[in-house]
Amino acid sequence: MKIFISWSGPKSKEMSIILRKWLPLVFPSLDFFISDEIEKGANFLEVILKQLQEAQLGLFLLTKGNTKSQWLQFEAGAFASKGLTSKIFPMWLDDNLEIDETGPLRFYQGSRINETDLFR
């Protein structure tokens, strides 16, 4: 299974790097992608679209400062257009972030990044 980790801004970028390193230790059979892995000289948009197409799960790292990011919303829309073949999982990094601030991503079941909610 391929998992696409979407981020926008410094806080969610830092969390994407942490998750990219940690999740394979917990789930070694899964394949994870973040845009930081795109090779120099590659066509960025082609790589992103290919990864979005191949992924079965999208982790969207949301913060107070990135919920209206056009790029994050683009990735979420592209992922959602796949229909039932994929799952979108929003992860709210800020405790004070209201779910209704996250645009269309608010329609997907997700989790706050804290021990209580994440392991529920």
**CB of 111 closer than 8 Å to CB of 117:** yes
How many domains does one find in the chain?
A: 1
- For residue range 19-71, what is the model confidence (pLDDT) as tens digits? 989 889 989 999 999 998 899 999 999 999 999 999 999 999 999 888 888 88
- For residue range 84-104, what is the model confidence (pLDDT) as tens digits? 777 998 988 887 776 666 677
Q: What is the CATH number of the domain that holds 25?
A: 3.40.50.10140
**CB of 3 closer than 8 Å to CB of 57:** yes
Q: How is the chain split among helix, strand and coil, in percent rounded to 5?
A: 50, 20, 35
Q: Mutual orientation of helices 70-80 and 44-54 as an angle, nearest 10°?
A: 40
For residue 78, what are the domain limits? 2-118
Does this model's pTM top 0.85? yes
